[in-house]
Amino acid sequence: MTRQLEGAVALVTGGAAGIGKAAALAFAEQGAKVAIADLKVDRGNELADAVERSGGKAIFVRTDVSRTGDVEELIGKTVTAFGRIDCAFNNAGIEGTLATTADCTEENFDRSHQNRGARVRQERHPHQRHLPGRYPYRDD
């Protein structure tokens, strides 16, 4: 069967667990090289190793997407490893604890919104320059 993403490079934030992990595996199964970014170092490294053992290409980069410096490092390591970025799944985030506005604690509100802010920041981050259809990326 033809793999649809042969040679492409995919970046997945929150890629060590849940939806992000499933997406990272799906990207790899379709032939993409995968950069997995997450706070969970052990799980991220295990997933990257599992992709490599099954014949794919993957790196794990410990990243807190709420920190611009971490995201810049993630972009740099991905481009160093794979030369380009074709698609980014900006998935990292937390649900927080579901509660009515009146019952929501300040800590719960701030924590979940910090991550939502991070997601917005990822979407306007310079790594979008690496994505086709937005700004052409050249590795020089």
* Contacting residues for 24 by C-beta, under 8 A, at least 6 apart: 10, 12, 15, 34, 36, 47, 51, 58
Binding site for ligand NAD (CB under 6 A): 13-14, 16-20, 38-40, 63-66, 91-95, 115, 118
Q: How far is the CB of 84 from ligand NAD (least distance, A)?
A: 22
Q: How far is the CB of 57 from ligand NAD (least distance, A)?
A: 21
Q: How far is the CB of 9 from ligand NAD (least distance, A)?
A: 19
Alpha-carbon distance of 12 to 14, in angstroms, equals 6
Q: How far is the CB of 12 from ligand NAD (least distance, A)?
A: 10
Pick the closer one to ligand NAD by CB: 31 or 73: 73
Pick the closer one to ligand NAD by CB: 111 or 129: 111
Q: Confirm if 32 and 58 have CB atoms less than 8 A apart.
A: no
Pick the closer one to ligand NAD by CB: 31 or 39: 39
Q: What is the largest CA-CA distance in the chain?
A: 54
Q: Confirm if 92 and 65 have CB atoms less than 8 A apart.
A: yes
33-38: strand order across its sheet:
58-62, 33-38, 9-13, 87-90
Burial class (CB in 10 A: 0-12, 13-18, 19+), 99: exposed
Pick the closer one to ligand NAD by CB: 31 or 45: 45
Pick the closer one to ligand NAD by CB: 68 or 115: 115
Q: How far is the CB of 140 from ligand NAD (least distance, A)?
A: 30
